[in-house]
Amino acid sequence: VFNLLRQRPLLIFAGSVLLLQLANAAMLPLMAGVVTTRSSQWAPVLIAACIIVPQAIVALTSPWVGRTAQQWGRRPLLLLGFAALAIRGLLFATVSDPYLLVAVQVFDGVTAAVFSVMIPLIVADVAFGSGHFNLAQGIVGTATGIGASLSTVLAGYVSDTFGSSVAFTGLAGVAAAGLAMIWFVMPETRRSAP
C-alpha cells in the first residue's frame, strides 16, 4: 500500500485530475447561466444541446483515444485534453453568441473523451502488479471529488464578484496549469510491449 502511495506518477496524475475538475466542473453551470441571461426563450434547448454535443463526441472518439493511447502513449492525449479545456474556457470568456457557445462544447467532448479513457488506463499502468488498483482508483477519485467541489464554489464566487468572463478566464488558467503539470512533470506511464 505504501509503495503505491509513494508512486510519483500516481500522485502527479491525481494532482492533474484535481486541476482538471477544478477547471471543468463549473464551466457548464456558469455557461448555462450566461445563456439563460442572453437568450432566455431558447435557453432550455441550447443547454440541452450543450449537454448532448459532448456526449456524442465522447461516444464517437473514445475508441480512437484508446487505440491512440497504445500507439502514442498517454501524455500526448493528456496534453490534448487539457489544451481543449483551456481553449473552451477562453472561448466561453470571449464568445457572446449563445448559439456559438453550443459549438464551443465540442472542446468539452474532446476533454471528456480523453479523460474517460485515460483515467482508468493510467491508474492501471501505475498500479500494475501491486494488487492495489482499487486504492489507486480511489486516490484519483478523491482528487476528482475535491476538484469538482471546489470548482463550482470558487468559480461562482468569482463570477458573482468579477463577472463570468473573468471566471471563465480563471478556469482556463487552471486548465493551463494542468497542461503545464502534464508537460513538465508527468512521466509517460504506458508500459512497453514485452
Summarize the confidence of residues 15-23 as an average pLDDT. 97
Greater pLDDT, 37 or 138: 138
Cell numbers linked to 65: 483515444
Point out the least confidently predicted range of 21-25, 100-104, 142-146. Answer: 100-104
Q: So what's the pLDDT on residue 42?
A: 83
Q: Residue 74 has what DSSP assignment?
A: S
What is the C-alpha to C-alpha distance for residues 170 and 54, in angstroms, rounded to an integer?
22
State how far the Cα of 96 lies from the Cα of 11, in Å rounded to an integer. Answer: 38
What pLDDT, on a 0 to 100 scale, did the predictor assign at position 1?
60
Query: For 39-105, where are the alpha helices, taking DSSP H only?
Result: 43-72, 75-94, 98-104
Q: Is 0.75 surpassed by the pTM of this model?
A: yes
b (16+ CB within 10 A) / e for 67-83? ebbeeeebbebbbbbbb
pLDDT tens, residue by residue, 52-99: 999 999 999 999 999 999 999 999 999 999 999 999 999 999 998 888
Residues ≥6 apart with Cβ < 8 Å to 88: 27, 104, 105, 107, 108, 111, 172, 175
Cα distance between residue 116 and residue 61, in whole Å? 11
pLDDT tens for each residue of 126-185? 988 888 899 999 999 999 999 999 999 999 999 999 999 999 999 999 999 999 999 999
Could you identify the residue written with the cell 502488479? 129
AA identity, residue 193: A
